Amino acid sequence: MILEGRVWRFGDDVDTDAIIPARYLNTSDPGELARHVMEDADKEFPAKVKTGDIIVAGKNFGCGSSREHAPIAIKAAGIQAVVARSFARIFYRNSFNIGLPIFESEEASSRIKEGDKVEIDADKGIIRNLTTREEYTANPIPAFMQELISSGGLVEWTKKKMKGAAA
Protein backbone atom coordinates (compact mmCIF):
# COMPACT_ATOMS: atom_id res chain seq x y z
CA MET A 1 0.00 0.00 0.00
CA ILE A 2 1.51 3.33 -1.13
CA LEU A 3 0.01 6.60 0.13
CA GLU A 4 0.96 10.04 -1.15
CA GLY A 5 -0.26 13.44 -0.05
CA ARG A 6 0.29 16.95 1.22
CA VAL A 7 1.09 17.43 4.92
CA TRP A 8 -0.72 19.31 7.66
CA ARG A 9 1.33 19.73 10.88
CA PHE A 10 0.13 19.54 14.45
CA GLY A 11 2.09 19.46 17.70
CA ASP A 12 2.30 17.22 20.75
CA ASP A 13 -0.58 15.91 22.84
CA VAL A 14 -3.35 16.59 20.33
CA ASP A 15 -6.32 15.22 22.23
CA THR A 16 -9.58 13.84 20.92
CA ASP A 17 -11.37 17.07 21.89
CA ALA A 18 -9.09 18.99 19.51
CA ILE A 19 -9.63 16.38 16.80
CA ILE A 20 -13.42 16.47 17.14
CA PRO A 21 -14.80 18.80 19.81
CA ALA A 22 -17.23 17.24 22.30
CA ARG A 23 -19.98 19.65 21.22
CA TYR A 24 -20.31 17.61 17.99
CA LEU A 25 -20.57 14.20 19.63
CA ASN A 26 -24.35 14.23 19.33
CA THR A 27 -23.90 12.76 15.83
CA SER A 28 -22.14 9.74 14.47
CA ASP A 29 -22.54 10.86 10.85
CA PRO A 30 -19.01 10.80 9.35
CA GLY A 31 -19.75 13.69 6.96
CA GLU A 32 -20.93 15.93 9.79
CA LEU A 33 -17.91 15.01 11.93
CA ALA A 34 -15.60 15.80 9.00
CA ARG A 35 -17.02 19.33 8.80
CA HIS A 36 -15.58 20.00 12.27
CA VAL A 37 -12.36 17.97 12.26
CA MET A 38 -9.46 19.71 14.03
CA GLU A 39 -11.37 22.99 14.19
CA ASP A 40 -10.35 23.63 17.80
CA ALA A 41 -6.69 23.24 16.79
CA ASP A 42 -7.06 25.27 13.56
CA LYS A 43 -10.40 27.01 12.91
CA GLU A 44 -9.82 26.98 9.13
CA PHE A 45 -8.65 23.36 8.88
CA PRO A 46 -11.98 21.80 7.80
CA ALA A 47 -12.15 24.22 4.85
CA LYS A 48 -8.48 23.78 3.89
CA VAL A 49 -8.04 20.01 4.08
CA LYS A 50 -8.32 18.07 0.82
CA THR A 51 -8.92 14.40 0.10
CA GLY A 52 -5.60 12.57 0.15
CA ASP A 53 -3.89 14.90 2.65
CA ILE A 54 -1.80 13.51 5.51
CA ILE A 55 -1.47 14.71 9.10
CA VAL A 56 1.98 14.74 10.74
CA ALA A 57 2.07 15.39 14.47
CA GLY A 58 4.21 15.10 17.57
CA LYS A 59 3.93 12.74 20.51
CA ASN A 60 0.79 11.30 22.07
CA PHE A 61 -1.56 12.07 19.17
CA GLY A 62 -5.16 11.15 20.00
CA CYS A 63 -4.85 11.29 23.78
CA GLY A 64 -7.92 11.95 25.89
CA SER A 65 -11.16 10.04 25.64
CA SER A 66 -11.62 6.72 23.91
CA ARG A 67 -14.17 7.97 21.38
CA GLU A 68 -14.05 6.48 17.90
CA HIS A 69 -15.40 9.78 16.59
CA ALA A 70 -11.84 11.17 16.39
CA PRO A 71 -10.38 8.78 13.77
CA ILE A 72 -13.77 8.66 12.00
CA ALA A 73 -13.71 12.47 11.62
CA ILE A 74 -10.13 12.37 10.29
CA LYS A 75 -10.87 9.64 7.77
CA ALA A 76 -14.19 11.18 6.69
CA ALA A 77 -12.40 14.49 6.01
CA GLY A 78 -10.36 12.64 3.37
CA ILE A 79 -7.12 12.42 5.34
CA GLN A 80 -5.55 9.20 4.23
CA ALA A 81 -2.99 8.70 7.01
CA VAL A 82 -1.56 10.13 10.21
CA VAL A 83 2.15 10.08 11.05
CA ALA A 84 3.17 10.92 14.60
CA ARG A 85 6.02 10.43 17.04
CA SER A 86 3.58 8.35 19.12
CA PHE A 87 -0.14 7.70 19.51
CA ALA A 88 -2.39 7.23 22.49
CA ARG A 89 -3.03 3.49 22.60
CA ILE A 90 -6.83 3.67 22.35
CA PHE A 91 -6.61 6.07 19.38
CA TYR A 92 -4.11 3.67 17.76
CA ARG A 93 -6.54 0.77 18.03
CA ASN A 94 -9.60 2.81 17.07
CA SER A 95 -7.80 4.02 13.94
CA PHE A 96 -7.24 0.51 12.65
CA ASN A 97 -10.75 -0.51 13.71
CA ILE A 98 -12.21 2.13 11.38
CA GLY A 99 -9.59 1.68 8.63
CA LEU A 100 -7.38 4.76 9.12
CA PRO A 101 -3.67 3.99 8.56
CA ILE A 102 -1.34 5.48 11.14
CA PHE A 103 2.45 5.40 11.39
CA GLU A 104 4.82 6.04 14.29
CA SER A 105 8.09 7.67 13.33
CA GLU A 106 10.04 10.01 15.59
CA GLU A 107 12.27 11.11 12.73
CA ALA A 108 9.44 11.86 10.28
CA SER A 109 7.49 13.62 13.01
CA SER A 110 10.35 15.99 13.76
CA ARG A 111 11.54 16.68 10.19
CA ILE A 112 8.47 16.88 7.95
CA LYS A 113 7.04 20.40 7.57
CA GLU A 114 3.53 21.59 6.76
CA GLY A 115 2.98 21.69 3.02
CA ASP A 116 5.61 19.04 2.26
CA LYS A 117 4.51 16.24 -0.01
CA VAL A 118 5.17 12.76 1.34
CA GLU A 119 4.88 9.17 0.16
CA ILE A 120 4.34 6.33 2.60
CA ASP A 121 5.10 2.71 1.79
CA ALA A 122 2.99 0.90 4.38
CA ASP A 123 4.45 -2.51 3.52
CA LYS A 124 8.04 -1.47 4.11
CA GLY A 125 7.50 1.22 6.74
CA ILE A 126 9.24 3.87 4.65
CA ILE A 127 8.15 7.51 4.60
CA ARG A 128 9.65 9.60 1.82
CA ASN A 129 9.53 13.37 1.95
CA LEU A 130 9.19 14.14 -1.75
CA THR A 131 9.78 17.84 -1.07
CA THR A 132 13.16 17.46 0.67
CA ARG A 133 14.06 14.00 -0.71
CA GLU A 134 14.61 12.67 2.81
CA GLU A 135 13.58 9.19 3.87
CA TYR A 136 12.43 8.03 7.31
CA THR A 137 11.46 4.73 8.83
CA ALA A 138 8.26 3.72 10.59
CA ASN A 139 6.99 0.39 11.74
CA PRO A 140 5.43 -1.29 8.70
CA ILE A 141 1.75 -2.10 9.01
CA PRO A 142 1.35 -5.86 9.46
CA ALA A 143 -0.53 -7.71 6.72
CA PHE A 144 -3.58 -8.32 8.91
CA MET A 145 -3.85 -4.64 9.83
CA GLN A 146 -3.52 -3.69 6.15
CA GLU A 147 -6.36 -6.11 5.47
CA LEU A 148 -8.46 -4.21 8.04
CA ILE A 149 -7.61 -0.91 6.36
CA SER A 150 -8.35 -2.10 2.82
CA SER A 151 -11.66 -3.58 4.02
CA GLY A 152 -12.69 -0.25 5.52
CA GLY A 153 -12.17 -1.26 9.14
CA LEU A 154 -12.95 -4.08 11.53
CA VAL A 155 -16.72 -4.16 10.98
CA GLU A 156 -16.42 -4.38 7.19
CA TRP A 157 -13.61 -6.95 7.48
CA THR A 158 -15.80 -9.07 9.75
CA LYS A 159 -18.74 -8.83 7.34
CA LYS A 160 -16.53 -10.04 4.48
CA LYS A 161 -15.19 -12.92 6.57
CA MET A 162 -18.71 -13.94 7.65
CA LYS A 163 -19.96 -13.77 4.06
CA GLY A 164 -17.03 -15.91 2.91
CA ALA A 165 -17.66 -18.46 5.69
CA ALA A 166 -21.34 -18.75 4.71
CA ALA A 167 -20.50 -19.49 1.07
| Per-residue pLDDT reduced to its tens digit, 117-165 | 999 999 899 999 999 999 999 988 888 888 888 888 888 888 888 887 7
Q: What is the pLDDT of residues 150-159, one digit of tens each?
A: 888 888 888 8
Whether the CB-CB separation of 123 and 71 falls below 8 Å is answered with: no
Q: Where are the beta strands (DSSP E) in 14-163?
A: 54-57, 81-84, 102-104, 117-121, 126-129, 134-137
Radius of gyration of the chain (CA): 15
H/E stretch holding 2: strand 2-9
**Residue type for 64, please?**
G
